[in-house]
């Protein structure tokens, strides 16, 4: 059966739903479903998703979505399609840039704004059943002391383990339940589920996600992005069976690079190639 809506686990699909100016209502609603009542977002502004280090030899931090609310609090929202080596280190590394960019010249009291790192994971966070509840969907992590007291409340990591979300439509209770259900099943919907039919934010999201609404260039970019996603899935399955982690990493890189090369040769815009493959602007320009 042919899909009517984009796959939100593709780079293109995720940014189409949450990373465009027209997607702000959806992103704000999604963030507020995750955040505590005292941290609710009224408005956001998108920031440059590519952050550079202090020198040219520093590694770059590339975010899927990077935004700021009206209080200056920072939000990194990332889609992770597959577990990577040093995944935790990568997340911590990314979180340092929104902290460091707040430094002010001259006299400064180091009063920082809060930073939230949100990861939508297409895999389970921990493979060891003894260390985690297999039904746990939301992992919220903060710095704590040995007594379990929060040491620093302005740095929060939130991970959504999508494979662990198994609720059906009639089991949805919270706003977050609805977003998780929407993200997980969007590509499979042939019609808008009843629970979303009177909800303006979700109706707008369904409209943005409709394949029939994409123009020719967007549709081509999405198809490439979907191919990268499917190739990645195949690489993951093969690597898990074969135990070949290096082969997995190599396969992911090759799939994205091959797709970007073909798209560039066919005149696809740089922005759409970035959306489709997840590669950086510099990486694409060097192809």
**Of 161, 194, 213, which residue constitutes the final position of a domain?**
213
Domain boundary among 213, 247, 267: 213
pLDDT for the residue numbered 57: 42
Give yes or no: residues 138 and 173 share one domain. yes
pLDDT at 114: 95
Q: Which pLDDT score is estimated for 141?
A: 93
Longest dimension (CA), the chain: 62
Would you say residue 4 lies in a domain? Answer: no
Residue 121 falls inside a structural domain: yes
Total domain count, the chain: 2
Q: Is residue 153 part of a domain?
A: yes
For 77, the domain range is: 11-213
Question: Hey, what's the torsion of the CAs at 246, 248, 249, 255, to 10 degrees?
Answer: 140
* DSSP H or E run through 250: helix 245-265
Give a yes or no: residue 1 inside a domain: no
- Which pairing describes strands 138-144 and 150-161: parallel, antiparallel, or unpaired? antiparallel
Looking at the structure, do residues 160 and 233 belong to the same domain, yes or no?
no
The confidence score (pLDDT) of residue 260 equals 76
- Percentages helix, strand, coil for the chain (3-state, rounded to 5) are 50, 15, 35
54 and 165 inside one domain: yes
Domain match, 22 and 75 both? yes
Domain stop point among 193, 213, 233: 213
What is the reported pLDDT for 241? Answer: 53
For residue 93, the model assigns a pLDDT of 87
Within this chain, do residues 256 and 201 fall inside the same structural domain, yes or no? no
CA quadruple 126, 130, 131, 137: dihedral sign? positive
pLDDT at 154: 95
Do 278 and 251 share a structural domain? Answer: yes
pTM: 0.80
Mean pLDDT in consecutive groups of 10 residues from the start of the chain, 287 residues: 92 93 96 90 87 51 82 91 74 90 89 94 69 75 93 95 95 97 97 96 97 92 86 62 52 68 73 71 78
Q: Are 238 and 244 in contact (CB under 8 A)?
A: yes
Is residue 6 in a domain?
no
Question: Which residue from 203, 157, 171 is spatially nearest to 34, judged by alpha carbons?
Answer: 157
- pLDDT at res. 49: 74
The reply to whether 28 and 53 lie within a common domain is: yes
Fill in the DSSP letter of residue 101: T
Residue-level pLDDT at 250: 58
The answer to the question of residue 229 being in a domain is yes
Q: What is the DSSP code (8-state) at residue 146?
A: T
* Residues 123 and 206 both lie in one domain: yes
In a domain, 3, yes or no: no
113 and 231 fall within a common domain:
no
249 and 147 together in one domain: no
Residue 28's nearest CA partner among 101, 118, 99 is 118
């Amino acid at each position: 059966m042919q899909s009517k809506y984009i796959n939100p686990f593709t780079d293109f699909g995720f940014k189409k739903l949450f990373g465009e100016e027209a997607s702000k209502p959806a992103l704000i609603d999604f963030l507020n479903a995750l955040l505590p009542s005292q941290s609710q977002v009224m408005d956001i502004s998108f920031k440059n998703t590519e952050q550079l280090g202090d020198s040219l030899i520093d590694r770059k931090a590339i975010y899927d979505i990077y935004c700021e609310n009206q209080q200056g609090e920072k939000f990194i929202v990332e889609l992770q399609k597959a577990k990577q080596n040093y995944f935790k280190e990568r997340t911590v590394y990314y979180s340092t840039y929104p902290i460091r960019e707040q430094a002010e010249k001259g006299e400064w009291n180091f009063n920082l704004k809060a930073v939230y790192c949100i990861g939508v994971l297409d895999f389970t966070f921990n493979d060891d059943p003894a260390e985690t509840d297999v039904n746990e969907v939301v992992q919220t992590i903060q710095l704590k002391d040995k007594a379990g007291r929060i040491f620093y409340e302005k740095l929060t990591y939130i991970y959504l383990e999508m494979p662990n979300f198994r609720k059906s439509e009639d089991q949805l209770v919270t706003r977050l339940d609805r977003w998780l259900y929407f993200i997980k099943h969007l590509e499979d919907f042939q019609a808008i589920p009843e629970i979303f039919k009177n909800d303006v934010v979700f109706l707008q999201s369904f409209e943005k996600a409709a394949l029939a609404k994409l123009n020719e260039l967007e549709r081509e970019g999405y198809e490439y992005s979907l191919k990268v996603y499917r190739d990645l899935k195949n690489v993951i399955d093969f690597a898990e069976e074969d135990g070949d982690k290096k082969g997995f990493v190599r396969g992911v890189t090759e799939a994205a690079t091959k797709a970007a090369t073909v798209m560039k040769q066919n005149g696809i815009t740089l922005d759409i190639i970035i959306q489709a493959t997840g590669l950086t602007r510099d990486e694409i320009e060097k192809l």
